Structure 1
Amino acid sequence: ILAGYYILGFSIYSSILLAGLFASQTLIAYPIVNKLGIARDKAVTIAVGGTVITDTLALLLLTVIVGMATGNVDDTFWWRLGISVLVCILIIVVLFPIIAHWFFKLCSDNVSQYIFVLAMVFLGAFLAQLAGLEPIIGAFLSGLALNRLIPKTSPLMNRIEFVGNAIFIPFFLIGVGMLIDYRAFFRDWESLEVAAVMIALITVAKFIAAWLTQKSFRLSKDQRTVIFGLSSAHVAATLAAVMVGYNVILGHTPDGEPIRLLSESVLNGTILMILATCIVSTFATQRGAHNIAVKNALQTNDEEKSRPEEHILIPVANEQSVDELVGLSATIKRAKEPNGLYALHAIDNRVDDPNMEKRARKLLDGAAKTAAAGDLYLQQLLRYDVNIANAIVSTVRERNITDIVLGMHQRTPGSTALPAIPGIPGIPGTSGPGIGKMVTDVLSQSNVTTFIYSPAQPLSTIKRHLVIVPPGAEKEAGFQMWLQRIRQLARNTGAKVAFFASDATLQHIRPRRERKAPANIGFVPFDRWDDLPSLEHDLRDDDCLWFVMSRRDRVSYHPAMSRIPGYLEQVFAGYSAVLVYPVQAGATDRYL
């Protein structure tokens, strides 16, 4: 404000609006930190949160200053602005996620989902404009509201990022470049003077803010550089504000020239400022993020070396469940590895039916397309064998498979009911046949982490994952393997994950450094394995149950595990569920 009023000689309203331009910021360099894998670093989180608050307040300031400069502020202005802004924010933040959740449950077509997301973003921008705000605020809030429903490894997110990076951002930057009148720089020095003052002040101010943040939160120098880099770029909100100020005409000179709230020199200076700050932001973010990524890589180098390369096998047999099985496989794997997925369809070699191979090819092609939409490569495997279990076990050995993602066995109507469990009327016994003979054979002949998935709703609409862990699970050989998969699920989907386990087991599940625990992972003491149906009281409509299982006579085996498939059919009917069978020492003598 002082620089605009005293150095540049602007009016007080123009100076305040200019200060709003200085305050706003654009995360133009965010793809850099995302690509380097430090998007969840504390410095990045602070910068993103600061951008949300700063841009919103800066654009609100724009609305107020324009109203005051044009004389439209009266006693009812503040009430109208406050109520309209509150209603707009409530609709976008509260109602939009509910509508999106309903739509994603109802519609699984990727094109329709993308069109829906665009429609919601444009609707949010329109509502913000009706409320007296800049449309960019509504679009920004819409993105925040829909973000949790779109996993970053999903095909929908891949489409959004591709179209944004390939079309929207280039056209936006082209539009910015076309606004500048380069002849103004040759007519006088005013535009260059304004640009120099703006660039110098903004760079110094953002660096001071980053330095104060570093001292307040005890961050490293590289984290300070990242905060400075992310917050120093000025593009979207700045351009929106300067265009509004430029189009506000306060009067006319005796020569008939319009007197604008922000002059043409400020518009041209802003374009130069955008160019300069984007360059500074990119180089600063790249430098700080690279150093942080290198340090993180050195710290986790030994851990990564000890972890085997991921090879996830997805046996496909049902066209309706292919997309969900591929989706689950994508969310439990490391996001930076596009390879390592295998889809398998087995055909009985005693059957001579060409239609079976055509159907198999169709299933495998569908799985490959789903993976490709998420920027992943899936290798198709068609195998003739004596039975499905033998084909899966043989592929596990040949391809060095680390994980299997299977669909839950569904009993066909009219099939023979399983014997009832004593003391629990109406719930069938499930000591093997409840999960299907094929799955039972696979578990008895292989020793890799196996996920048996029963999707009741799309994975993207799941809000909470409840992981029920048996006592002694930490003593199993594959404990860290499945635990790492659950953590990847939390990172890739953003959904909440709650571990239900005994106090002794929770000590091994919690990170060694409590402050490093992700915000969306919780821990609940649980010792009611003899009364698993009581979990129904803790369930919500959009929960997914994860039961960590064990083969018989192993360290973590509990008699209640034999009844869990029956519970899923009766007590927990309508909920998505995953049975996790970890690697266990001595579990399969034939395999070992």
Structure 2
Amino acid sequence: MDKFLHHISDAFSTPITNPVLVFSIILTIILVSPIILRPIKVPGIIGLILFGVLLGPHGLNWITKIDKVTLQGSGVDAIDLFSTIGLLYIMFIAGLELDMNEFRKTKNKSFLFGFLTFIIPISIGFPVCHYFLGYELLPSILIASMFATHTLVTYPIVNSYGISKHEAVAITIGGTILTDTAVLIILAIITGASQGQLNQEFWVTLGVSFTIFLFIMFGIIPRIAKWFFQKIEAEKTAHYIFVLAVVFFAAFMAEIAGLEPIIGAFVAGLALNKLIPHSSALMNRIEFIGNAIFIPFFLISVGMIVDISVLTKGPMALIIAGTLTVVAVFGKFLAATATQLIFKYSKNERNLIFGLSNAHAAATLAIIMVGYEREIIDENVVNGTIVLILITCIIASLVTENASKKIVMAGHVDSDTPETVPETEEEILIPIANLSKMEPILDFATLIKSGKSNRPLNILSVVPDNEQAEKNLIAARKNLDNMAKYASGSETEVDLMTTIDHNIASGIGRTSKEIFANCIILGWPSATSFIEKIVGEKTESILNRTDANLFMCRLDKTLLSHRNITVFVPPLAESELGFVFWMEKMLKLAKELTLPLVFVSNQRTQEALGTFLESVQSSVPTSFENYEDWDNIYGLATFSNADSLLVFVSSRYGEVSYRDSLDGLAKRVGRYFKNQNVILIFPSRREYQHIDDYEDVQAAPIFKKISKEIGNMFSKDKL
């Protein structure tokens, strides 16, 4: 018994030396920190740092770091490794999450704001650090460059107020790319200078190595990544491992080039930005694992360095903390004010820019930790930086929320055209046909699904009503379970549905009405039997029985293989009820994949498309091609290329944009574009109460075809 108690006493003696217990304590901190601090509105990043301070060597001394690496140590190896990964992860996600479309849209104004928010804080910070606080040249430049960085901590606030497309928000996002990149380059110069003199050899070496590094990261890595994602499409775990390998390879390459590893991680994020859609399962895995494990480890390790007692030993520590905070806030406010005067923005827009750019978090911490580890700055600056992060995040949250509220009250919200379907009420139905083709269709549905919708994706399996119905129902539910497992990879909520009906089209039609589906996503129609041709093909039967927007997809290649999205829009498509819906989905898809949109239409429709795009202020690059001879569908082939995702907008029979040339479009497109991904869209229509009431008769389509052909014989005018 004594031996057991002695063993327990040793295990819990401080500092704790059992690596398993150390790991358990850190995971407990990660778990309880947001729960405890959320009610008092303390940002999560600060909460983890505070727990690191509390349990670190300068607090309760439960967890500590030692210089000597041992096999039976205090878990230092794990803490150091995980915190290093966390530091790289922060910078990688910073590069990965930047919206490059928004940056391209406002690049000129973003360049100017990026310059102002970089140069003004540095111009104020350097003399304050050098002459007032008395730091040497290199520490003063490093601390001043820290003032120039900012993290978009408060972006979710502007998004929740519906002003994320506002120009002031767009230029702030663009400025983030420029100022963080410039600061990281300064960091490379400072760390190089701290190890030797800034002679000609240093500059030549830095220039050449940096050029080679950028060529590898932007010229070679994206090509390898694109090839890998295409060839190893089924191995989803391999995609994440590949991305992680790229991050560490980039960090190592940066170190070889004489730069800091965090620069490599940031550049890796920019290089892979276009290849990893923000709503994809891969992006979800990257963010989930980073936010759950690696980044919290880094933040806790930062807290373990902080020594609060330093603040009580004399006025100097408090003066440094206060000075850093004041300079950081004042510098960003001046940059926002200068931007306001140049672009003639309102006071509320100035405050919005200031609120978004004032928060110092990820990049600031990364730079200061590198400086501290290189012994360029002292612990007073580290402590002061923690205070700075806490105060600037709080100020940024308050200012952004206040400015966002006033901008909304003034009527400057994202000017989207009124939707036919409220995003929060969006219901998407995905009928299962060929199980082997369902994964890319589920990925497509996840990409176009509205971010504001809290409804799950409805996955349906229709079982024919025959003597095997019960057995088939069990098999169908197993298939649905497989789809649910796949969907969980991207944290996509799904609702699994099975139904028994006389035929598949009838089951889909009935279910879509029961759940009030706004959108149905189907696989590409397979070869039809002779009987189906007589009584009406499956796809046509589904169209007859539904009024919702219908997307028919053939996605044999990964969506990352495309260079643009070409959308063929027939005359008068803008007059269809579902026009706004499918346009929004194409813009969402293009934004997620970071691809330009090319619209092929006649002049009248082109003008309507341009008006819509202008009204929604989309950041997606768009261009137009003119085509007038819509009775000749095969002429559209001149506008496609092998790297295009082809989207054909069609119409149900009898609708305003319908024409004979659209009849049987799926068959003809399927034959002509055999090796390309193709999406066929049928916009929604108003619910009819006359002839459609009788369309449950399975032979109805054949009579409709006959009557249509007779009508065409006497029709002289065609659209």
Contact 2:306–2:379 under 8 Å retained in 1: no
Q: Kindly tell me: are residues 587 and 99 of structure 1, through their superposed partners in 2, closer, same or farther at Cα, counting changes over 3 Å?
A: farther
Q: Displacement, 1:406?
A: 0.8
Contact 2:162–2:414 under 8 Å retained in 1: no
1:542 aligned to which of 628, 637, 643: 643
RMSD: 3.1
Q: How does 1:13-52 map to 2 (within 5 A)?
A: 13-34=138-159, 38-52=163-177
**What's the counterpart of residue 136 of structure 2?**
11
- Name which of structure 1's ranges 15-24 and 192-201 shifts more when overlaid on structure 2: 15-24
**What's the counterpart of residue 273 of structure 2?**
147
Contact 2:595–2:620 under 8 Å retained in 1: no
Q: Displacement, 1:225?
A: 2.7
**What's the counterpart of residue 511 of structure 1?**
611
Q: How does 1:254-333 map to 2 (within 5 A)?
A: 261-289=376-404, 291-292=406-407, 303=418, 307=422, 309-333=425-449
- Name which of structure 1's ranges 150-159 and 220-229 shifts more when overlaid on structure 2: 220-229
2:588 aligned to which of 488, 492, 516: 488
**What's the counterpart of residue 197 of structure 1?**
323
**What's the counterpart of residue 419 of structure 1?**
none
- Name which of structure 1's ranges 52-61 and 25-34 shifts more when overlaid on structure 2: 25-34
- 1:361-382 CA distances to partner (integer Å, 9 max, x unpaired)? 1222233334443333322221
Q: Secondary structure at the match of 2:418?
A: helix
Amino acid at match of 1:184: V
Q: Kindly tell me: are residues 65 and 327 of structure 1, through their superposed partners in 2, closer, same or farther at Cα, counting changes over 3 Å?
A: closer
**What's the counterpart of residue 441 of structure 1?**
541
**What's the counterpart of residue 568 of structure 1?**
669
Ranges in structure 2 where 5+ consecutive residues have no aligned partner? 1-125, 694-719
Alignment of 1:216 with 2:342, yes or no, is: yes
Amino acid at match of 2:545: Q
Alignment of 1:61 with 2:186, yes or no, is: yes
- 1:540-579 CA distances to partner (integer Å, 9 max, x unpaired)? 4432111111234543233332364344344311111111
Q: How does 1:48-447 map to 2 (within 5 A)?
A: 48-106=173-231, 107-248=233-374, 261-289=376-404, 291-292=406-407, 303=418, 307=422, 309-352=425-468, 355-411=471-527, 437-447=537-547
TM-score by structure 1 length?
0.86
Name the CA distance, whole Å, in 2 between partners of 1:410 and 1:135.
51
Q: Displacement, 1:197?
A: 1.3
Name the CA distance, whole Å, in 2 between partners of 1:484 and 1:301.
10
Amino acid at match of 2:490: G
Q: Kindly tell me: are residues 40 and 74 of structure 1, through their superposed partners in 2, closer, same or farther at Cα, counting changes over 3 Å?
A: same
- Name which of structure 1's ranges 401-410 and 152-161 shifts more when overlaid on structure 2: 152-161
Contact 2:570–2:630 under 8 Å retained in 1: yes
Q: Kindly tell me: are residues 286 and 113 of structure 1, through their superposed partners in 2, closer, same or farther at Cα, counting changes over 3 Å?
A: farther
Q: Kindly tell me: are residues 246 and 405 of structure 1, through their superposed partners in 2, closer, same or farther at Cα, counting changes over 3 Å?
A: closer
Q: Displacement, 1:350?
A: 1.3
Name the CA distance, whole Å, in 2 between partners of 1:590 and 1:401.
21
Q: Kindly tell me: are residues 398 and 559 of structure 1, through their superposed partners in 2, closer, same or farther at Cα, counting changes over 3 Å?
A: same
Name the CA distance, whole Å, in 2 between partners of 1:352 and 1:10.
83
Name the CA distance, whole Å, in 2 between partners of 1:294 and 1:109.
49
- Name which of structure 1's ranges 516-525 and 126-135 shifts more when overlaid on structure 2: 516-525
- 1:102-147 CA distances to partner (integer Å, 9 max, x unpaired)? 2222223332222222222222222222222222222122222222
Name the CA distance, whole Å, in 1 between partners of 2:611 and 2:556.
31
Name the CA distance, whole Å, in 2 between partners of 1:494 and 1:238.
28
Contact 2:469–2:500 under 8 Å retained in 1: no
Q: Kindly tell me: are residues 164 and 40 of structure 1, through their superposed partners in 2, closer, same or farther at Cα, counting changes over 3 Å?
A: farther
**What's the counterpart of residue 525 of structure 1?**
626
1:475 aligned to which of 547, 571, 575: 575
2:681 aligned to which of 564, 577, 580: 580
Q: Kindly tell me: are residues 122 and 29 of structure 1, through their superposed partners in 2, closer, same or farther at Cα, counting changes over 3 Å?
A: farther
TM-score by structure 2 length?
0.72
Contact 2:590–2:620 under 8 Å retained in 1: no
Ranges in structure 1 where 5+ consecutive residues have no aligned partner? 249-259, 417-431
- 1:253-287 CA distances to partner (integer Å, 9 max, x unpaired)? xxxxxxx5433332332232233223323333344
Amino acid at match of 1:384: I
Q: Kindly tell me: are residues 382 and 340 of structure 1, through their superposed partners in 2, closer, same or farther at Cα, counting changes over 3 Å?
A: same
Contact 1:310–1:340 under 8 Å retained in 2: no
Contact 1:447–1:584 under 8 Å retained in 2: yes
Q: Kindly tell me: are residues 141 and 540 of structure 1, through their superposed partners in 2, closer, same or farther at Cα, counting changes over 3 Å?
A: farther
Name the CA distance, whole Å, in 2 between partners of 1:146 and 1:181.
38
Q: Displacement, 1:389?
A: 0.9
Q: Secondary structure at the match of 1:176?
A: helix
Contact 1:150–1:156 under 8 Å retained in 2: yes
Q: Displacement, 1:95?
A: 2.3
Contact 2:646–2:679 under 8 Å retained in 1: yes
Amino acid at match of 1:546: V
Q: Displacement, 1:235?
A: 3.2
Q: Kindly tell me: are residues 457 and 294 of structure 1, through their superposed partners in 2, closer, same or farther at Cα, counting changes over 3 Å?
A: farther
- 1:219-239 CA distances to partner (integer Å, 9 max, x unpaired)? 444433332233223333333
The structure carrying a bigger strand percent of its residues is 1
Name the CA distance, whole Å, in 2 between partners of 1:77 and 1:267.
29
The structure carrying a bigger helix percent of its residues is 2
Name the CA distance, whole Å, in 2 between partners of 1:473 and 1:102.
36
Name the CA distance, whole Å, in 1 between partners of 2:393 and 2:312.
24
Q: Kindly tell me: are residues 184 and 475 of structure 1, through their superposed partners in 2, closer, same or farther at Cα, counting changes over 3 Å?
A: closer
Amino acid at match of 1:583: S
- 1:305-352 CA distances to partner (integer Å, 9 max, x unpaired)? 874832221110211122222222233331121315221111111132
Q: Displacement, 1:479?
A: 2.6
**What's the counterpart of residue 717 of structure 2?**
none
Name the CA distance, whole Å, in 1 between partners of 2:490 and 2:677.
22
Name the CA distance, whole Å, in 2 between partners of 1:294 and 1:140.
37
Q: Secondary structure at the match of 1:161?
A: helix
